[in-house]
């Protein structure tokens, strides 16, 4: 599969290379990065065909999402693989009324249409809304396992792309930035941070190429990417936090997506515990998670 995967990755890179990726986010502003041009590009790439969730297509989905991550492009197409945004603490990505959210339940995935929501300011331009009312939840159509596998593989790939880009740009910055007559790349501490970041990023790329998609793979991708971001910010220094430099876009996206992925994993683990306790006939009390809302949550209280 190696040569075919490489060819597909090059095709994805070529299709996405001509896109203008906009980022309208500013502190205190609600922003939505969806792009019709990006959706059309994904259609040309064959996004629908590789999104089946089959074992043989997951690596192709992973490397396509990797290229999306390297551009910090809108992950809206990835969110739709699950059927809708994970509902985490009453928040949903791209969560305008009429959109869908996805939740975990005893019978698998459940989808619900958003009846009422309001846009909120968030750390990234993901069209985040606070959901106040949902229509009645219904079981997700099709194979829920394949749906989750496709979403997981794409998320792992997207995180790998974010991390890979930051390693490349941090390395370039370290080679070009001079201080006291030497480049940053000559400093042992910088070399160590680059090595640590590159090791994590390379591992994530390999995971994406393998089509890794489970909860553990997503948890590792989210936490590992944030580790790469921290090392990148140390190398870029204050420049990494300013809006005119791209580093902040990548770290914002890693933190924002990581919050939704972590929330989804918590819900899946909690549901598994409930199901296990029910199966063994033992009493179970769900842990009190401040801020977490039950399925069907209505209102901000």
Q: Do 102 and 80 contact (CB within 8 A), yes or no? A: no
Identify whether 157 is part of a domain: yes
Question: For 13-70, how does the pLDDT look when each residue is reduced to its tens digit (9 = 90+)?
Answer: 999 988 888 888 999 999 999 999 999 999 999 999 999 889 999 999 999 999 999 9
How many CB atoms are located within 10 Å of the residue 81 CB? 24
Identify whether 246 is part of a domain: yes
pLDDT of residue 102: 93
Among residues 96, 52, 100, 63, which one has the least CA distance to residue 80? 100
Question: Helix, strand, or coil here: 228?
Answer: helix
Question: For 99-124, how does the pLDDT look when each residue is reduced to its tens digit (9 = 90+)?
Answer: 999 998 777 788 999 999 999 999 99
Q: What is the CATH number of the domain that holds 252?
A: 1.20.140.10
pLDDT of residue 85: 96
Q: How many independent structural domains does the chain possess?
A: 1
Identify whether 124 is part of a domain: no
pTM of the model as a whole: 0.90
Alpha helices in the chain (DSSP H): 2-17, 36-45, 47-50, 58-70, 76-81, 144-176, 188-210, 215-236, 247-279
Identify whether 153 is part of a domain: yes
Question: For 286-301, how does the pLDDT look when each residue is reduced to its tens digit (9 = 90+)?
Answer: 444 444 443 333 344 3
Question: For 239-256, how does the pLDDT look when each residue is reduced to its tens digit (9 = 90+)?
Answer: 788 888 889 999 999 999
Sole residue written with tokens 């309208």? 24
Helical pair 58-70 and 2-17, crossing angle rounded to 10 deg: 30
Which residues 6+ apart lie within 8 Å of 220 measured at CB? Answer: 204, 207
How many CB atoms are located within 10 Å of the residue 289 CB? 12
Dihedral angle computed from the Cα positions of residues 165, 170, 176 and 177, in that order, rounded to the nearest 10 degrees: 150
Core vs surface per residue 187-202: b (16+ CB within 10 A) or e: eeebeebbeebbebbe
> Containing domain of residue 77, as a range?
1-82+144-279
């Amino acid at each position: 599969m190696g040569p075919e995967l490489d060819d597909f990755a090059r095709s994805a890179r070529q299709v996405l290379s001509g896109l203008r990726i906009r980022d309208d986010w500013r502190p205190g502003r609600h922003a939505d990065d969806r792009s019709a041009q990006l959706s059309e590009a994904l259609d040309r790439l064959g996004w629908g065909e590789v999104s089946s969730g089959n074992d043989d297509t997951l690596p192709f989905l992973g490397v396509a999402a990797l290229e999306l991550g390297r551009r910090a492009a809108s992950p809206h197409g990835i969110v739709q693989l699950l059927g809708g945004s994970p509902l985490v603490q009453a928040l949903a990505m791209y969560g305008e009324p009429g959109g869908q959210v996805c939740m975990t339940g005893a019978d698998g995935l459940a989808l619900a249409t958003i009846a009422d929501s309001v846009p909120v300011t968030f750390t990234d331009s993901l069209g985040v809304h606070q959901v106040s009312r949902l229509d009645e939840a219904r079981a997700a159509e099709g194979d829920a396992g394949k749906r989750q596998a496709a979403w997981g593989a794409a998320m792992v790939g997207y995180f790998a792309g974010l991390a890979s880009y930051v390693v490349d740009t941090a390395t370039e910055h370290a080679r070009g930035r001079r201080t006291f007559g030497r480049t940053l790349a000559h400093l042992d501490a910088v070399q160590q941070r680059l090595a640590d970041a590159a090791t994590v990023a390379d591992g994530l790329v390999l995971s994406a190429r393998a089509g890794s998609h489970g909860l553990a793979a997503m948890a590792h991708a989210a936490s590992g990417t944030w580790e790469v971001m921290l090392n990148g910010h140390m190398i870029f220094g204050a420049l990494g936090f300013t809006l005119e430099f791209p580093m902040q876009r990548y770290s914002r996206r890693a933190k924002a997506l990581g919050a939704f992925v972590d929330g989804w994993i918590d819900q899946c683990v909690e549901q598994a515990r409930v199901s296990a306790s029910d199966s063994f006939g033992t009493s179970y009390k769900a842990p009190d998670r401040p801020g977490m809302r039950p399925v069907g949550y209505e209102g901000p209280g």
